Structure 1
Amino acid sequence: MPLPSEPLRKLGFLTIGLFDPDDPRPGHESTLEIIELGERLGFDSAWVRHRHLQHGISSPVAVLAAASQRTSRIALGTAVIPLGWENPLRLAEDLATVDVLSGGRLNPGVSVGPPMHFDRVKDALYPHTANAEDFGHDRVRRLLGFLRGEPATDFSGTEGIEVFSDRVEPRSPGLADRLWYGGGSLRSARWAGRHGLNLLTSNVVKAEESEDFAEVQLSHVRAFRAHHPDGERARVSQGLVVIPTDGATAAQRAKYEEYVRRRTPRTTSPHGPARLVYAPDLVGPSAELAERLHAHAAFREVDEVAFALPFTFAHDDYVQILTDLATGLGPALGWRPADDHRGVTPA
């Protein structure tokens, strides 16, 4: 069995946070409970997806603000905030506030491009400026600059009884170094590397040099590091759908296997004008999954992962999957939970 260059150093998970539109609170509460469980199990990070005008987390920054008050150690990330929906100045204020509340645990992940279904939402989102908006990398540069303390205005000082700053407040030193870029192409990987960001690479990439997912993802990781000031030390987190079944019931195993079976056909060839390639979902016992991951060319290049929880499963399913990831698959990949949480039995 091929082995990775070094043991898995950081284990994280990603959730979409689905909820019932007629009763949204239980879904949000489930997401917070899952993050709390992740901390108890010793996970290094918990990430939430961002879904606008859907029945998933529309405000990950708000959800992570709540999570920051119910946890004390686990890193909290967004994967990813699409900046086409955001004002970088306002977003910088929100991110800095949550980072301060969390004690410096926030890991914002962002992406660029026009909002999904832009022609149908532009009148609500940008009623007067839709045709003038730039949805490219400049939004990331602006956000990064504000997080680094670059001036947002040429005015500062006292006006009457109020004191004004020329920078985003609150200041949270170190937050800019924890900004991640969600990239699925060689161009994105190179750009993120040149600008000193961290790279989130998911289970969707563009078929450019190959149609083999692992080969494409490997080329992105290497291109990113080749252009990053930190070189081989530059941080990359890989996100795949990985479902261990060690502690699953027979009914759960059947559901998981059917979920993977339905999604597998999309992995056989590139899709659409962008030639998107999807990674196969992985399901099975931890020992088998570890062997398959060790054989994955891109996995062998990284030492951080954020395995994605399937979108449509129940809360109890997520508890079982996270428990198996932390107690079975993670150790099989060389990972060890945070020292101060070893031996803790999940509630």
Structure 2
Amino acid sequence: MRAFGFLSFGHYGHGSGVRGVDARQMLHDAIDISVGADELGVNGAYVRVHHFARQSASPMPLLAAIAARTERIEVGTGVIDMRYENPLYLAEEAAALDLIADGRVALGVSRGSPEPADRGWESFGYTGSTDPRGADIAQVKLQRFLRAVRGEHLATAAAGPYGSAPAGAGLRVEPHSPSLIDRIWWGAGSRETAENTGRLGLNLMSSTLLTEATGQSLGDLQAEQIQRFRDAYAAAGHSGRPRVSVSRSVFPIVTGEDRYLFGMRPGEGADQIGIIDGFESTFGRTYAGEPDQLIEQLRADAAVMSADTVMLTIPSQMGVDLNLRILQNFAEHVAPALGWKPNTEGPVQGDEA
């Protein structure tokens, strides 16, 4: 493990209080957690994106605010649902964010997970999908988004005094951040999707679950998924070494209060099997224990040890201080034994992973 960060779902409710933060408080807390994490040397601050739900959405304003308040920490998403996006506008926003952040963006995109709204992307104006899950339009939008991020010409200059390009010349979306394409990730929930991600030459965000249930642990399933991704990446002739992240819920127990908040009852702490999108799926366990116990358990998690980046899912609605304590406990008592060193220079690059 070369890097770790936090993944916030950005839950909020109706009022104030530990479990009832409103949207404003959630956003300000996310900024403050990121600033504190940056000071701790944590590598990344990532936010989930959901629509028609009381949790984080519209990530660009939040990430821009985080980027402006921090110096080294990577900022990104895990993940943006492409079904709901205008791919060229997303490319403009992502480039602007990356320029504000001085190249610290790790943008995770994907088809997206189930949302509260039935075919909610159609309410955003994106119709025409023949797939009940919208995977077809997500893939079309992904390809157009990648072309825009690469700086390809996607429009033609108009005749008349409207710009510096001659009439008929090709135009790319602006602004453009040349290296951003190397920091685009696809969120994959299956081995097949991971292989396709490798063929595309993108980085891999292995999902918080896999839409497969073979009896193997999530860690073993993801380790196979990661290897298939890397094999497909190499077979497609891509150069470099792509990055891979996995997400885990990890709560180091260092104090009595930690034990009260995060200690698990007998029988808890195992992978779960459930149904999502009509597929029998494997959901990851929660790790909670004393540091030595967590180190042993995480070393036995094949996916954690295969990935270069671990994203800790945090209970963001429980406030800044508690979440920074979780990150500090992990940084001080667990992560160094897994190969992590405090971030002093900026985001991990692919060739360093």
TM-score by length of 1: 0.86
* Residue 159 (structure 1) aligns with: 160
- Structure 2 counterpart of 1:85, which letter? Y
**Cα distance change of structure 1 residues 261 and 102 upon mapping to structure 2, 3 Å threshold:** farther
How far apart are residue 213 of structure 1 and its match? 1.5
- Structure 1 counterpart of 2:151, which letter? G
8 Å Cα contact 2:273-2:282 kept in structure 1: yes
Q: How does 1:192-271 map to 2 (within 5 A)?
A: 192-207=197-212, 210-229=215-234, 233-246=241-254, 248=255, 250-257=256-263, 267-271=271-275
- Structure 1 counterpart of 2:260, which letter? A
d(CA) in 1 for partners of 2:80, 2:345: 31
- Structure 1 counterpart of 2:3, which letter? K
d(CA) in 1 for partners of 2:127, 2:224: 41
TM-score by length of 2: 0.84
Q: Does 1:294 align with 2:295?
A: no
SS state of the match for residue 299, structure 1?
A: helix
SS state of the match for residue 336, structure 1?
A: coil
Q: Which moved more, 1:200-209 or 1:289-298?
A: 200-209
Summarize deviations over 1:219-247 as a string: whole Å, max 9, x none.
1001000001358932111111111122x
- Report the number of matched residues: 329
Determine what percentage of the aligned residue pairs are the same residue: 31
Q: Which moved more, 1:187-196 or 1:115-124?
A: 115-124
d(CA) in 1 for partners of 2:263, 2:247: 19
**Cα distance change of structure 1 residues 306 and 119 upon mapping to structure 2, 3 Å threshold:** closer
8 Å Cα contact 1:152-1:166 kept in structure 2: yes
Q: How does 1:46-61 map to 2 (within 5 A)?
A: 46-61=45-60
SS state of the match for residue 108, structure 1?
A: strand
d(CA) in 2 for partners of 1:20, 1:292: 34
Q: Which moved more, 1:313-322 or 1:69-78?
A: 313-322
**Cα distance change of structure 1 residues 223 and 26 upon mapping to structure 2, 3 Å threshold:** same
How far apart are residue 186 of structure 1 and its match? 1.1
**Cα distance change of structure 1 residues 143 and 118 upon mapping to structure 2, 3 Å threshold:** same
SS state of the match for residue 243, structure 1?
A: strand
d(CA) in 2 for partners of 1:206, 1:120: 20
Q: Does 1:94 align with 2:98?
A: no
d(CA) in 1 for partners of 2:35, 2:113: 34
Q: 1:334 aligns with which of 323, 331, 339?
A: 339
Aligned-CA RMSD value: 2.7
**Cα distance change of structure 1 residues 231 and 122 upon mapping to structure 2, 3 Å threshold:** closer
Unaligned 5+ runs, structure 2:
16-21, 347-353
**Cα distance change of structure 1 residues 15 and 180 upon mapping to structure 2, 3 Å threshold:** same
8 Å Cα contact 2:252-2:288 kept in structure 1: yes
d(CA) in 2 for partners of 1:193, 1:172: 22
* Residue 38 (structure 2) aligns with: 39
* Residue 146 (structure 2) aligns with: 144
8 Å Cα contact 1:286-1:332 kept in structure 2: no
8 Å Cα contact 1:9-1:304 kept in structure 2: yes
How far apart are residue 37 of structure 1 and its match? 0.7
* Residue 17 (structure 1) aligns with: 10
- Structure 1 counterpart of 2:246, which letter? Q
8 Å Cα contact 1:252-1:317 kept in structure 2: no
Q: Which moved more, 1:116-125 or 1:21-30?
A: 116-125
